[in-house]
Amino acid sequence: MTSLATTMRNRRNAQRSTGPRSAAGKAVARRNSLKHGLTANPAVGVVEDAGAYENFYARLIEQIQPQCLIEQCLVDRIAVSLWRLYRAMRAETAVTGLAVSSIKPMREDVQAWIRDIHEAWQPRLVQITDRAEIREAVKRHEIEPGQTLVRTMRPGLRSLQRMFDRKIMASASGLSAVILMTQNFYDRLSAQDQRMAWMEVEIFAWLLGVPVHCFPLIVDDPSPASSDGGPASLLQQIEHANRRDAGQPISPALSGHIESRLAMFQQQRCVVADPSCEAEHRGQQESALLPEAPILDRLLRYETHAERSLMKSLEQLANLRGTSVDAMKSRYFSENLFALQADAAGNGWNENTLFGQLDSAKRSQMN
Q: What is the pLDDT of residue 281?
A: 60
CA–CA gap between residue 297 and residue 303 (Å, rounded): 10
Domain ranges within the chain, ordered by starting residue: 41-100+292-366, 106-121+157-214+222-286, 123-155
Model confidence at 359, pLDDT cuts 50, 70, 90, reads: very low
pLDDT in tens, 204-260: 999 999 888 888 888 765 444 444 445 568 888 898 898 888 788 898 999 999 999
pLDDT in tens, 125-154: 888 888 888 888 888 888 888 888 888 888
Pairing of strands 124-127, 150-153: antiparallel
Query: Strand pairing partners for 150?
Result: 127
pLDDT in tens, 301-352: 888 898 999 889 989 998 988 888 888 777 766 544 444 444 444 443 344 4
Q: What is the pLDDT of residue 13?
A: 79
Segment (H or E) for 19:
none
The overall longest dimension of the chain from CA atoms, in Å, is: 106
Q: What is the pLDDT of residue 349?
A: 39
Q: What is the pLDDT of residue 333?
A: 61
CA–CA gap between residue 270 and residue 278 (Å, rounded): 12
Q: How many CB atoms lie within 10 A of CB 266?
A: 12
DSSP state letters, 259-307: HHHHHHHHHHHHHHTSS-HHHHHHHHHHHHTSPPHHHHHHHHHHHHHHH
pLDDT in tens, 26-73: 666 665 655 555 555 554 555 567 778 888 888 888 888 888 999 999
pLDDT at 365 over 60: no
Q: What is the pLDDT of residue 346?
A: 42
Query: Strand pairing partners for 313?
Result: none
Q: Best-predicted range by mean pLDDT among 155-159, 219-223, 290-294, 332-336?
A: 155-159
Q: What is the pLDDT of residue 11?
A: 81
Dihedral angle, C-alpha 289, 292, 295, 299, nearest 10 °: 50
Q: What is the pLDDT of residue 32?
A: 63
Residue-wise over 201-229: b if at least 16 C-beta within 10 A, else e? Answer: bbbbbbbbebebebbebeeeeeebeeeee
pLDDT in tens, 181-191: 999 999 989 88
Q: What is the pLDDT of residue 260?
A: 93
DSSP helix/strand/coil, 56: helix
- For the segment 73-90, the average pLDDT, to the nearest whole number, is 88
Phi, psi of 114 (to 5 degrees): -65, -40
Dihedral angle, C-alpha 190, 191, 194, 200, nearest 10 °: -30
Give the single-character DSSP code of 218.
Answer: B
- Residues contacting residue 109 through CB under 8 Å, at least 6 positions apart: 171, 173, 174
Q: What is the pLDDT of residue 33?
A: 58
Q: What is the pLDDT of residue 38?
A: 52
Q: What is the pLDDT of residue 94?
A: 80
Radius of gyration of the chain (CA): 35
Q: What is the pLDDT of residue 262?
A: 93
H helices present in 102-230, as ranges? 106-120, 131-139, 157-166, 172-191, 198-207
Nearest to 52 by CA among 337, 347, 355: 337
Q: What is the pLDDT of residue 366?
A: 44
CA–CA gap between residue 61 and residue 41 (Å, rounded): 18
- For the segment 72-99, the average pLDDT, to the nearest whole number, is 85
